[in-house]
Amino acid sequence: QKTGAVGFNIAKVIVVGDVAVGKTCLISRFCKDSFDKNYKATIGVDFEMERFEVLGVPFSLQLWDTAGQERFKCIASTYYRGAQAIIVVFDLSCVSSLDNARQWLEDAMKENDPSSVLLFLVGTKKDLSSPDQLAYMEQEAIRLSEEIRAEYWTVSAKSGESIREFFFRVASLTFEAN
């Protein structure tokens, strides 16, 4: 078991990114299979537990969601600390959210060991983007993901596109690294 890890078969996964990029919807689409189009800043709840079975072994992800503090960029260090995977989220329809992704990653990395943490860069709201916009954002996002060595995904919490595949991938890579 690595230092800071939650436990042998539980991994802490943190979700970061600008306010309103779709972090909470990403988690709830997967954990509750629901989508809420009305915006509510997440209040209070720290994490959702999701059970997986990887290679026949029970394995859980503790998915940490911010509680609206990202609006003020004042995330407590306990939120970041001891993460085994970091999911950096941006909105495919909002260029500034991708520009800010790098800063979110840097902040999260201050509390983590770069040699052991897994990184994912996730573009959300794929259903909203025009093909032209998507092409531009994809090009920039792929460039960033290569630079930071993150696995790059595009998803839609609204349609559900790639949500299950994405979280299963997070679970299996985190399990392998555990």
Least separation in angstroms between CB 95 and ligand GDP? 16
Residue 21 within binding range of ligand GDP, rule CB under 6 A: yes
Residue list 109-148, contact with ligand GDP (CB under 6 A):
124-125, 127-128
Strands of the sheet with 118-124, listed across from one edge:
47-54, 57-64, 10-16, 85-91, 118-124, 151-154
Give the span between the Cα atoms of 31 and 50, in whole angstroms.
7
Least separation in angstroms between CB 12 and Mg ion? 18
Give the span between the Cα atoms of 173 and 178, in whole angstroms.
9
Residue 69 within binding range of Mg ion, rule CB under 5 A: no
Total of residues contacting ligand GDP (CB under 6 A): 18
Total of residues contacting Mg ion (CB under 5 A): 3
- Binding region for Mg ion (CB under 5 A) out of 15-23, 97-105, 137-145, 157-165: 15-23
Give the span between the Cα atoms of 98 and 35, in whole angstroms.
23
Residue 105 within binding range of ligand GDP, rule CB under 6 A: no
Give the span between the Cα atoms of 155 and 163, in whole angstroms.
6
From the list 40, 138, 64, the residue with the least C-alpha distance to 98 is 138
Q: Quick one: angle between helices 131-148 and 101-109, nearest 10? A: 30
8 binds, among Mg ion, ligand GDP, none (CB under 5 to 8 A by kind): none
Give the span between the Cα atoms of 15 and 78, in whole angstroms.
13
Residues 23-62: x where in contact with Mg ion by CB under 5 A, - otherwise, as a string: xx-----------------x--------------------
Whose CB is nearest to Mg ion? 24
Return residues touching ligand GDP (CB under 6 A).
19-25, 36-37, 39, 42, 124-125, 127-128, 156-158
